[in-house]
Amino acid sequence: MLKVSQQDWTVMRDADNIAWLTFDKQDAHANILDSAALEELLVVMQSLEKDPVPSGLVIQSGKKNGFIAGADIQQFKNVETPEAALKIIRQGQTVFNYLAALPFPTVALIQGFCVGGGLELSLACRYRVAVDHPKTKLGLPEVMLGIHPGWGGSVRLPRLIGGVKAMDLILSGRSLSAQAAYKMGLVDAAVPERQGQVAARYFVQKQPAQHTATFVEKLSNAAWMRPIVGKWLERKLTERVNRAHYPAPYSALQHWVEHGVDTDAAFAQEAQSVIQLMPNETAQNLVRVFYLQEKLKSLGRAQDDKIEHLHVIGAGVMGGDIAAWCALKGVRVTLQDQNTAAIASALNRALQLFKKQLKAPHLVKAAMDRLMPDVKGFGIRTADLILEAIIEKPEAKKALFLMLEATAKPDAIFATNTSTIPLKEISDHSKTRRRLIGLHFFNPVAKMPLVEVIASEDSDHALAQKCMAFVRAIDKLPIPVKSAPGFLVNRILMPYLLESAWLLEAGVPGEAIDKAALAFGMPMGPVELSDTVGLDVCLYAAESLNHFFPVSIPNTLRQHVEKGHLGKKTGQGFYRYQKSGKPLRTAVAKEYRVPEDVSDRLILSMLNGAVTCLREHVVADADYVDAGMILGAGFPPFRGGPIHYISEQGAPLLVQRLKLLAQRYGDRFLPDPGWNDLKL
């Protein structure tokens, strides 16, 4: 074997004269295509073309975790002009066009993630072989960064699998398993790991006909058909994505409709489309969100001393779902509840989750085996981590921890999923306080990525750190939070939810309130969100917070709870609900004039809370406030988070508006003193 090594790329020629090109980005955890890696790839390909020309080229990854994670997003940061963006786009297009034109067969051997620029590289190869493994994921998630594929993907993908399927992937940014990618025609084979290289060799040596789109798929790309299909896709897109907030998928669709897949001009136009998007505020803020997530990920680096056994007490909405999630992610879990029916129901939900996520029956069975019902609480003695998710009553939690202190392993970590109560209210015992950490998951557990990791001044720092690693190990994002009432997310979200109830009390229709929040970019309006959380839960949380600082609770909230109108779960809350769980909305009367300060009342309540948290050092810095609110409360990602939004709008202007609201509606709007010290 002849070996030629560059920084990131290594070529080995085997006895059959196949060039095996391995990408192993130096000093990086994952393979990313930065400018240097692209430049080197071009040099490698140029040298391959010289004598002796190989019989074929297989591109593979030297990293265990995946093939290629895409472009270097660092490059997108602070791109201020289309010209600056063009440099990035042009380089990728040039290199991939070169790859596509190589005069010998080329194969991408894909294992693990193959996303963004990584998938675009593989699309420029003649063949793609994917290793059929749960970690293999193929996708074009560029819209999540406010752009669309720009290295040829917007042209090559619809060419390969037709416009409809390609647009589904590009507009949603979703990723596919190896099998799903094979069914879609995106890869030529999905094979077991041990057969990856054998399959790649087969494609080089046999050179079977390349995959092409079917007749119907080709039809969707026809010039006369694209506008028709495009209209239909646009209608579907409008149902889920607000064009004003997230323009990228609309640009991707428009590019395909206008330029199709057949000409070189389509590539040039793809570049033009992307470079308009990259410098704009949405894309820059989404890149910021990407880095906020990376920051949280880096907090939970794996440790040798792992949590292997989790014991959960309380198998209700939260405890049951946390137990299931952790078992799904490979942790051995014992689940305890005083009510056996709660455990049975939690196991049932767990089975549904495992079936949906794991599909293969043997994997589902293995996950079910990891989740053990434990009515008597035998798991307490052996667990590394004991998490309580019982009712939100300090006395109940206190009694529980007293019992745990006497029974658990001396080095077990105690955790609470309390949503509002500071840790010191839950235990008087100094030994317990040292090992008590808040692990606050959000509802619904399977969907919400964030977990607040709460430490008090008594908590052992090393244990908090171990909990962060645990949160990462179960594929969630940890955010370190001080033990303060309501912690970070609920502290900020609660005034916003309560304000929506104040608005209702003042006679503003729920539909108008929710509309204002959606227009700002929130994923769900606060009235519907209150109903979803449960009005009793909202009231209870508001009253808990009221023990620590004044919280104004509108009467309408109490009245609904007294009447048993608790929200979605009872079919009636602020809204009435259909069986499907959808609210029955009444159209707002035409002559009704929505007060012009509805949006301000909602959003400024949140911003004021965000400033309070920053001033009180509930989290270490503004990035954490932003990350927490985006990932835990759905604050619009395209706005970059509440503190970032304040810096873009200008604090003095917002303070003025808060003062005006305070004059109109009372002290709850008085600007927090922290506004004066904001360093933006």
Neighbours of 210 (CB within 10 A): 12
Candidates 511, 480, 419; CA nearest to 617 is 480
Q: Give the nearest distance from C-beta 353 to ligand NAI in angstroms.
A: 16
Q: Which is nearer to ligand NAI, 315 or 503 (CB)?
A: 315
| Residue 140 binds ligand NAI (CB under 6 A) | no
How far CA 404 is from CA of 238, 310, 313, 376, 427, in Å, comes to: 52, 14, 11, 13, 11
Active-site residue, 29 included: no
- Tell which positions 615-654 bind ligand NAI, by CB under 6 A: none
E strand map for 580-673: 583-584
In the complex with ligand NAI, the residue whose CB is nearer, 223 or 396, is 396
Residue window 298-337: x/- pattern of binding to ligand NAI, with contact defined by CB under 6 A:
---------------xxxxxxx----------------xx
Q: How far is the CB of 426 from ligand NAI (least distance, A)?
A: 10
- Nearest distance from C-beta of residue 442 to ligand NAI, angstroms: 6
Q: Which of 46/338 has CB closer to ligand NAI?
A: 338
Catalytic residue, from 148, 255, 440, 565: name it: 440
For ligand NAI, the closer of residues 73 and 313 by Cβ is 313
- Count of other CB atoms within 10 angstroms of residue 511: 18
Burial class, 101, CB count within 10 angstroms (exposed 0-12 / middle 13-18 / buried 19+):
exposed
Q: Evaluate whether 226 touches 234 at the Cβ level (below 8 Å).
A: no
| Chain residue at closest Cβ approach to ligand NAI | 316
Q: Which is nearer to ligand NAI, 389 or 658 (CB)?
A: 389
Instruction: Supply the minimum distance, in Å, between the C-beta of residue 416 and ligand NAI.
Output: 7
Scanning residues 411 to 450, which ones bind ligand NAI (CB under 6 A)?
A: 417-419, 441, 443
Residue placing its CB nearer to ligand NAI in the complex, 94 or 339:
339
Q: How far is the CB of 604 from ligand NAI (least distance, A)?
A: 25
Q: Measured from the CB atom, is 163 or 319 closer to ligand NAI?
A: 319
Counting contacts by CB under 6 A, is residue 344 touching ligand NAI? no
H-state helical runs in 241-378: 248-259, 264-277, 281-299, 317-328, 340-358, 361-370
Nearer Cβ to ligand NAI, position 441 or 470? 441
Given candidates 40, 392, 405, 460, which one binds ligand NAI under the rule CB under 6 A? Answer: 392
Choosing from 237, 537, 622, 629, the residue that interacts with ligand NAI (CB under 6 A) is 537
Instruction: Classify strands 175-176 and 137-139 as parallel, antiparallel or unpaired.
Output: antiparallel
Instruction: Kindly state the smallest distance separating residue 242's Cβ from ligand NAI, in Å.
Output: 26
Looking only at the bridges linking them, the beta strands covering 436-441 and 413-416 are: parallel
Question: In whole angstroms, how far apart are CA 32 and each of 94, 114, 118, 244, 289?
Answer: 17, 10, 8, 31, 18
> What is the 3-class SS of 181-219, one letter each residue?
HHHHCCCCEEECHHHHHHHHHHHHHHCCCCCCCCHHHHH
Please, are residues 289 and 637 in contact by the beta-carbon 8 Å criterion? yes
> How many Å apart are CA 46 and CA 479, to the nearest integer?
47
Q: Which of 80, 85, 160 is nearest to 119 (CA)?
A: 160
The piece of 132-140, 200-208, 388-396, 589-597 that touches ligand NAI (CB under 6 A) is: 388-396
Closer residue to ligand NAI in complex, CB, 32/343: 343
Number of residues that bind ligand NAI (CB under 6 A): 25
DSSP string, 90-151: HHHHHHHHHHHT-SS-EEEEE-SEEETHHHHHHHTSSEEEEE--TT-EEE-GGGGGT----S
- Return the range that interacts with ligand NAI (CB under 6 A); candidates 52-60, 104-112, 174-182, 384-392: 384-392
Q: Rounded distance, CA 254 to CA 434, Å?
A: 58
Q: Which residue has the tokens 């194969």?
A: 107
Determine, following the binding rule CB under 6 A, whether residue 342 of this chain makes contact with ligand NAI.
yes
- Residue 188 sits in the site that holds ligand NAI (CB under 6 A): no
Pairwise CA distance, residues 148 & 270, whole Å: 9
Shortest Cβ distance from residue 626 to ligand NAI (Å)?
21
CB 578 within 8 A of CB 489: no
- In whole angstroms, give the CA distance from residue 264 to residue 100: 13
* Residue window 18-37: x/- pattern of binding to ligand NAI, with contact defined by CB under 6 A: --------------------
By the rule CB under 6 A, 389 interacts with ligand NAI: yes
Q: In the set 78, 214, 242, 339, which binds ligand NAI (CB under 6 A)?
A: 339
Binding positions for ligand NAI, rule: CB under 6 A: 313-319, 336-339, 342, 389-392, 396, 400, 417-419, 441, 443, 533, 537
The catalytic site residues sit at: 440
